[in-house]
Structures are given as C-alpha cells and as structure tokens.
Amino acid sequence: MSHAQGTLGPADHTLVIERVSKRFEGVAALADVSLQVGAGQIVGLIGPNGAGKTTLINLITGIHTVTSGRIRFNGRDVTHAPAHEVARAGLARTFQNIRLLAEATVIENIMIGFYRLETTPSLSSLLGLPAAHRETQRIRQRAMALLERFEMAHLAQAEAGSLAYGHQRRVEMMRAMASDPALVLFDEPVAGMNDVEAAAMGRIFDGLRREGRAVLLVEHNIRFVTQLCDQVYVLDSGRLIAAGSPREVVAHPDVITAYLGRPRAHKER
C-alpha cells in the first residue's frame, strides 16, 4: 500500500501528538496530552465520560484548534491545518453518533466518501456530460469493491436507515475507507453492538492494521480494546493517567480508580 512508509525508521510515527492542551471557555478539556500512532498499529484511547477523547479526535481532524501543543501527521505539522486539508493528507474518521443519509441506499452513502475527494468542481456532472457519467461509474465500482470486502455486497441497494445498527456502523467505516486513508480515527465504533457484531468489527480492524494503516480507536468496551490494541492510552478529566500495553494499563491503579471510583474505606469481604 502507498501509505506503508517503508523508508521510515521505527521511531517515526504516522501521528504524533505533542503536549496538546485544549480549553473551552476556561474549562480544560485536555491538558498536556502526548500520544503516538505508528503505521500498522491499533492504538486504543479509553477513559470515562467527559475525559476528552472526542475532543482529541476533533483537534487531530482540524474541527477544533489546539490551545497549545503540536500535531504532526505523516511528518507534516498539521496543528493549524483546516479539516479538508488534513483529510486530503490521508486522514479519515467516523463519528460517535452515526451520520448516514438514512433514505439513501448503502452504496450511495459509500459513494459520498469518494466524491469528497474530487478536486474538480462538478459542473460537468451538473450538465450531465459523459466524463462525469464515466466518473460516477468508476466510483460506483470502487464502492462495490469495498462492499464486497466488508461482506455487505448483498445490501448495496438497501436503504441505509433500514439496516441493523452494526451494519450502519460498517457503512460509516466503508465511507471513511473510501479515501484510502493512512490514519483512521474511530469514535466508539462498537458501542451498542453485541459480541458477534463486535467480533466482526475486530476482524475488520485487524485487516486495516495488516494493510499498514494507523488506527486510533476510542472505545468504552475495554475487552474489545485490550484484545485488539497494540498500545492503550487512558485519559481522565483531560489528563493522561496511563499508557502502555493493554495488560499494563488495565492493571494500573489509577486506571482502576478512574473506572471503579475510589475504594471505600470500609470494604466488606
């Protein structure tokens, strides 16, 4: 794959977050957060509600701007790059709340992902010129190839809003993958899924890793994260409280406290 970055040394990462802070009207949503994601790595980002996980994704994607710190992507400083520029540089995301055109078909929803990359204004498509028609056919074929890979080709013509929740999530993923991104950010991709659906999702993530993509995975499902991720970072109230292998992180006392609350003074045995 073109994004494999075979010439980079082991110290180089696709995504490098350096001491990033973000304040919203005086409230510190993130404080001094550093994190790296390498090509062919799935990095988990966990933490209780309001910890700052989605805020970090919004900063990386250029939806919000940092208060301080630096963000580098594929060796480029994108700290102040607008969202469309970061997307063009090879970054894609999904959202915490599903965002599909419910009344459009599955394949149309995925085709949108390809159209987003178009550089020329679509005057020719407005005028119905043959070149635009050929382009649409080409995009339809590529969307179909993605559907086959995600084992959803049989649902290509289904109305997106009529699909089961797990399938809607997959459509979102395919739309994100349309741009052939080097880095993908997923915000709670298996929330609300049963174990079977989550396992299917896990295999898809594993495939992305094998293709050499860098994946940042925000998830509340700890079991899913620890089974899948190479590295895990833990945020609590905007601060990183732990980072390391899944095994190290789940055994960390601060992580246990963040998830279970402070241990009671008088504990029953």
Strands 239-244 and 231-236: antiparallel
Out of 5, 14, 41, 54, point to the residue binding Mg ion (CB under 5 A).
Answer: 54
Return the residues of window 141-200 that contact Mg ion according to CB under 5 A.
none
Site of tokens 């159209």: 115
Instruction: Return the number of the residue (136 or 259) whose C-beta is nearest Mg ion.
Output: 259
Residues 131 and 187: beta-carbon distance below 8 Å:
no
When CB distances are held under 5 to 8 angstroms depending on the partner's kind, the choice from ligand ATP, Mg ion, none that residue 157 binds is none
Closest alpha carbon to 107 in 151, 164, 137, 147 = 147
The contact mask relative to ligand ATP for 19-38 (x = CB under 6 A, - = no) is -----x--x-x---------
Does the footprint of ligand ATP cover residue 79 (CB under 6 A)? no
Helices (H), the chain: 53-60, 83-88, 106-115, 123-126, 130-149, 165-177, 195-210, 222-228, 246-250, 253-260
In degrees and rounded to multiples of 5, residue 194 shows phi and psi of -80, 175
Instruction: Return the number of the residue (53 or 93) whose C-beta is nearest Mg ion.
Output: 53
Instruction: Return the number of the residue (29 or 229) whose C-beta is nearest ligand ATP.
Output: 29
The contact mask relative to ligand ATP for 87-126 (x = CB under 6 A, - = no) is ---------x------------------------------
**CA atoms of 150 and 137, how far apart (whole Å):** 20
Closest alpha carbon to 82 in 58, 104, 100, 109 = 58
Number of chain residues interacting with ligand ATP (CB under 6 A)? 12
Residues 255 and 242: beta-carbon distance below 8 Å:
yes
Out of 33, 37, 39, 51, point to the residue binding ligand ATP (CB under 6 A).
Answer: 51
Binding site for ligand ATP (CB under 6 A): 24, 27, 29, 47, 49-55, 96
Binding site for Mg ion (CB under 5 A): 53-54, 96
